[in-house]
C-alpha cells in the first residue's frame, strides 16, 4: 500500500466515504426503479398491466425510462465498489480506470436526466391529449358501444386509482349516465392533473432526488481522484528514491 501522506490519507478517507454514499444511492436508484417496474402495488405496474390504459398513456416510454434507470442504478453500485477497492488499496491503475469511467458516467448520466426531463414533458402532453380524445369519443354519438365500454373502463381505472373523474372533472361528460359509468365515485377533481401530480411526486422522491445527488457526487469524485493518483505517484517516487539511496549506501 502506497504511503500517501497526511493530505493523501484525508483524500482517501473522503473518497471512501463518498463511495459508500455513492453505493447506497446507487442501490436506492436501482431498488426504486425495480419497485416502480415490478412491484404489484406500484402505480407504474398497475397502469401498465391494464390493457385499456395503454390507449391513453404512453406505457412504452415510461417502461423505457424505468429500465434505463434500473441499469444505471446497477452500474453505479458496481462502480462504487470498484472505487472503494481502488481507494482503500491505493491502486493507481484501478483509480485511473475508475476516473475515466466516472467521467463517462457523469456525461451519460447528465444527458440521461436531461432526456428524461424532456421525455416527461412529451409523455404529459400526449397523456392530456389522449385523455381529452377519450372524453370526446365518449361524448360522441359516432362511437360504437363496445369502444365506449372500453374507454369508460379505462377512465374508471384512473378514477379509482387517483380519486378523480374525467379529464378535467365531471363536467367533461355530456350526461349523468357517463359520469356514473366512467367515474369510480363522486370525485370532483380531473384525472389529468391528479395523475400527472402523482407521477411527478413519485418521480421526484424516488428518481430525481437520488439521481441528482449521485450526479453531484460523480462530479466531486472526478475532481478528487486525480489528487489521490498524484499522491500515489509521488509516494512511489519517494519510495524508489529511498530504495536507490539504500542500495548506494550498502
Give me the pLDDT at residue 59, please: 53
Tell me phi and psi for residue 56, to 5 degrees.
Answer: -105, -40
Question: How much is the pTM?
Answer: 0.59
**Count of Cβ atoms closer than 10 Å to residue 137 Cβ:** 16
Say which residue, 239 or 2, is predicted with more confidence.
Answer: 239
3-state SS, residue 142: coil
pLDDT tens digits, residue range 218-233?
Answer: 888 888 888 888 877 7
Give me the pLDDT at residue 106, please: 87
How many residues are recorded in the chain? 250
pLDDT tens digits, residue range 139-184?
Answer: 988 888 888 888 888 888 888 888 999 889 999 998 888 888 889 8
42's grid cell:
406500484
**Count of Cβ atoms closer than 10 Å to residue 15 Cβ:** 24
pLDDT tens digits, residue range 57-89?
Answer: 555 556 666 677 788 788 888 888 888 888 887
Amino acid at each position: 500500500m502506497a504511503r500517501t501522506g497526511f493530505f493523501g490519507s484525508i483524500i482517501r478517507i473522503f473518497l471512501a466515504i463518498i463511495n459508500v454514499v455513492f453505493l447506497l444511492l446507487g442501490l436506492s436508484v436501482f431498488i426504486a426503479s425495480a419497485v416502480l417496474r415490478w412491484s404489484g402495488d406500484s402505480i407504474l405496474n398497475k397502469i401498465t398491466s391494464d390493457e385499456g390504459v395503454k390507449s391513453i398513456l404512453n406505457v412504452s416510454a415510461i417502461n423505457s425510462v424505468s429500465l434505463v434507470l434500473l441499469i444505471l442504478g446497477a452500474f453505479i453500485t458496481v462502480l462504487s465498489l470498484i472505487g472503494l477497492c481502488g481507494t482503500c488499496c491505493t491502486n493507481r491503475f484501478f483509480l485511473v480506470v475508475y476516473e475515466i469511467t466516472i467521467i463517462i458516467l457523469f456525461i451519460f448520466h447528465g444527458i440521461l436526466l436531461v432526456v428524461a426531463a424532456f421525455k416527461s414533458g412529451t409523455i404529459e402532453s400526449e397523456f392530456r391529449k389522449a385523455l381529452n380524445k377519450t372524453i370526446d369519443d365518449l361524448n360522441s354519438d359516432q362511437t360504437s358501444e363496445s369502444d365506449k365500454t372500453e374507454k369508460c373502463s379505462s377512465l374508471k381505472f384512473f378514477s379509482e386509482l387517483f380519486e378523480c373523474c374525467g379529464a378535467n372533472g365531471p363536467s367533461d361528460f355530456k350526461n349523468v349516465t357517463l359520469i356514473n359509468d366512467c367515474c369510480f365515485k363522486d370525485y370532483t377533481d380531473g384525472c389529468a392533473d391528479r395523475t400527472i401530480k402523482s407521477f411527478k411526486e413519485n418521480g421526484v422522491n424516488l428518481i430525481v432526488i437520488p439521481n441528482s445527488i449521485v450526479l453531484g457526487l460523480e462530479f466531486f469524485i472526478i475532481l478528487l481522484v486525480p489528487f489521490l493518483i498524484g499522491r500515489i505517484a509521488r509516494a512511489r517516487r519517494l519510495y524508489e528514491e529511498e530504495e536507490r539511496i539504500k542500495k548506494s549506501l550498502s
